């Protein structure tokens, strides 16, 4: 357990006003706020836009017998304007947690929907915030062992416009894809770094 504690907490922020600027599949809030300063006193009131999206979870699927990962490839609109990247991303199985659903339940559901596999209780790795400078999104990351020989094909929910291809890669190939930028999303990068430490036996353990 770390001994680090932040200097300030939620009570050291005052929200002056808050309203919803946009509400669709995601939402954007306009917030006027002030907070305590490290040197003492309070900041002036200032504006921030906050991108609100539901909490999500991802699952690192690994076959330890064959040293292979089961990944998924699908179109991502967030990559559309990147001229040096394909808008088809190589990712972990992942999804948004439904209301009343636990992160573990979502992980099992998405593995079936996106990869056609069934897993037992996934092991928790960590929580992290994807972009805390402007987004509420928190990711829960899990690990599950599978038989990669059973993985393959095309999956996804047609009513959600999902078109997902399962990709099985040896760990070395997956690591090379990370190194060259083909794997370019935070969830997959964090998971592969964790797995690399776990494989090497140098301290990447499941967080309790």
Name, in order, each residue with C-beta under 8 angstroms of 161's C-beta and a sequence gap of 6 or more: none
Specify whether 160 is catalytic: yes
Contact (Cβ atoms closer than 8 angstroms) between residue 36 and residue 42: yes
Phi, psi of 203 (to 5 degrees): 115, -5
E strand or H helix at 175: helix 171-179
Cα 32 from Cα 126, distance rounded (Å): 31
Question: Pick the catalytic residue: 105, 160, 162, 208?
Answer: 160
Cα–Cα distance, 44 to 75 (Å, whole number): 42
3-state secondary structure of 73: strand
Contact 87, 75 (CB under 8 A): yes
The pair of three-digit structure tokens given for residue 40, joined into one six-digit string: 């003492």
Nearest partner of 114 among 137, 87, 139, 96, judged by Cα: 96
- Active site positions, annotated: 160
């Amino acid at each position: 357990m770390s001994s680090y504690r932040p200097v300030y907490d939620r009570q050291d922020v005052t929200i002056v006003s808050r309203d919803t600027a946009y509400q669709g599949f995601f939402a954007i809030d306009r917030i006027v706020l002030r907070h305590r300063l490290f040197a003492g006193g309070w900041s002036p009131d200032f504006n921030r836009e906050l991108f609100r999206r539901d909490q999500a979870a991802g699952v690192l699927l690994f076959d330890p017998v064959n040293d292979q990962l089961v990944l998924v490839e699908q179109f991502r609109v967030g990559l559309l304007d990147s001229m040096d990247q394909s808008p088809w991303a190589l990712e972990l199985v992942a999804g948004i947690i439904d209301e009343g659903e636990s992160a573990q339940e979502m992980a099992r559901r998405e593995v079936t929907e996106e990869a056609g596999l069934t897993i037992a209780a996934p092991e928790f790795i960590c929580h992290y915030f994807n972009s805390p400078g402007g987004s509420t999104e928190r990711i829960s990351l899990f690990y599950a062992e599978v038989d990669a020989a059973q993985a393959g094909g095309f999956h996804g929910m047609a009513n959600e416009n999902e078109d997902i291809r399962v990709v099985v890669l040896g760990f070395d190939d997956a690591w090379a894809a990370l190194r060259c930028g083909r794997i370019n999303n935070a969830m997959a990068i964090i998971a592969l770094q964790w797995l690399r430490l776990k494989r090497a036996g140098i301290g990447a353990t499941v967080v309790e």
